[in-house]
A and B are shown apart, each in its own frame.
Chain A
């Protein structure tokens, strides 16, 4: 593993290895002294072409807990909205000796371009690109699911285990969601069954090739599918306007059809957990009841995000510099 660009790059064993490593990282984070010397002397650049304070802070925390030097490069702004700047920025970072570039970009495929361009020799970690992928989000979701739903509901050692047999419903704006794409692939790789739930306007043409089921009816999925977990995706209000694509008539109609409220929460199996990648639109895709219920593991997802990102940075950066075979065994 030289880069982490897409959840689809990971085999089952690689993904499990990342989750296991994240488990060891999480154990260190319960200690009084959380900082490890592991990546001392390494430089991690957070290259953010799109605002995302939470993701940046999560990566920054992960890198710092491993003693890496962190440079935050916020490239958002009109002067760098054109493509050439990705190249120039990358060349600058290369000159600064970046060992890893954590990139968030509004254009799908930009991390891929960065990794294959030769502009930087560092490892590239995709922190979300356009509507394509957000692999560390999928990994932290998988980590969270495994912790709660595998190995006697978290009481037994889960290392080495995948998500075989679990049913996860992913609900919301699948069309524009990199979280959905990453999760469908990773959860499938890990043996879980995935059902996407969205109004037909927010399901991409071509979804039939994805390893998942698709439903337009949330209530049916909850009652008939009995999901072990339900993952609510953020829905942007502007998508309903004509200029935004007119994907649904009104926020109210959306909530009625696809929002997670107290009634639907009640209908879920007793053990089912609720995930959300954040930031939430309370009252749109998730009600306050659901968001604050003890079934929701949304805050825990944030903590797990740090452990997973520590694991990814460790696996990409700790080994020798040679280009081949730095894989996660």
Chain B
């Protein structure tokens, strides 16, 4: 895994423990606030939760999508959070497979048919945009949504494709050398956003 580029840091469920130089940029409370805000923005933008499907991108996008769904369900009465959120694995659509060790394929689980729906893709870190490019391809093989939107907990810039997020938890200007890692309690035991390797 030592060859992994920064953009992949968040893809690996079993990430190594944070290095000694890791700086915490968002804590548990800030992440919670950011997600709550995004949930409201999603509702506002789409004028409610009608036809909404939240698809998290494995690994850490999946619990984030579930949390967003839970928050939306709290606000919008009569919604079942479980029917709102799912997962979308993009591994088999990536364009950089050959530059990395073989990736484990995640699960694609759609709570409903995506035809005619508004799909909100949920990822932890938005970086080069290549993951989202793969996600768009993956969705188009699954059906034809009315619209696709993107929510990212962290946008760290350095886009390589014409892709932007509709909902951002925090814009985090970084250098290419740095490594941004999102920890979620469901997988990592705690919530945090870290920057590592600033001096690497």
Contacts and interface: CB of A to CB of B under 8 A. Distances in A.
A66 B105 CA distance: 14
B137 interface: yes
Contacts of A208: none
A48 interface: no
A27 to B, nearest CB: 7
Interface in A30-88: 31, 33, 35-38, 66
B102 A27 contact: no
Given A37-B93, A314-B92, A320-B98, A31 B105 contact: no
B93 A328 contact: no
Contacts of B104: 17, 21, 329
Interface string B96-118: 01111111111110000000000
B124 interface: no
B123 interface: no
Contacts of A174: none
A28 interface: yes
Given A24-B107, A36-B93, 17 more contacts: A21-B104, A24-B105, A24-B106, A28-B92, A31-B142, A36-B92, A37-B92, A38-B93, A314-B92, A318-B98, A318-B103, A319-B101, A319-B102, A320-B100, A320-B101, A321-B98, A325-B101
A319 B105 contact: no
Interface in B56-110: 89, 91-93, 97-108
A315 B105 CA distance: 10
B160 interface: no
A130 B104 CA distance: 32
Contacts of B91: 38
B125 to A, nearest CB: 22
A187 B156 CA distance: 47
B3 interface: yes
Interface string B131-158: 0000001000110000000000000000
Q: Looking at B3, B97, B142, which has the most chain A CB atoms within 10 Å of its CB?
A: B97
A5 to B, nearest CB: 18
A217 interface: no
Interface string A308-328: 000000110011110001111
Q: For the complex, would chain A's binding face be called helix, strand, loop or mixed by DSSP majority?
A: loop
Contacts of A27: 107-108
A37 B102 contact: no
Contacts of B103: 318-319
B108 A328 contact: no
A99 B101 CA distance: 16
B129 to A, nearest CB: 17
B141 A33 contact: yes
Contact of B98 (A315, A319, A329): A319
B99 A21 contact: no
Contacts of B101: 319-320, 325-326, 329
Given A21-B105, A31-B141, A318 B89 contact: no
27 contacts: A24-B105, A24-B107, A27-B107, A31-B141, A31-B142, A33-B141, A33-B142, A37-B93, A37-B137, A38-B91, A38-B97, A314-B102, A314-B105, A318-B97, A318-B98, A318-B102, A318-B103, A319-B98, A319-B100, A320-B3, A320-B98, A320-B100, A325-B101, A326-B102, A328-B102, A329-B101, A329-B104
A31 B108 CA distance: 12
Contacts of A318: 97-98, 102-103
Q: Looking at A17, A24, A66, which has the most chain B CB atoms within 10 Å of its CB?
A: A24
Contacts of B93: 36-38
Q: Looking at B92, B100, B102, B142, which has the most chain A CB atoms within 10 Å of its CB?
A: B102
Contacts of B137: 37
A34 to B, nearest CB: 9
B138 to A, nearest CB: 9
Contacts of A24: 89, 105-108
A201 to B, nearest CB: 44
A329 B103 CA distance: 9
A232 B106 CA distance: 34
Contacts of A35: 141
Contacts of A36: 92-93, 141
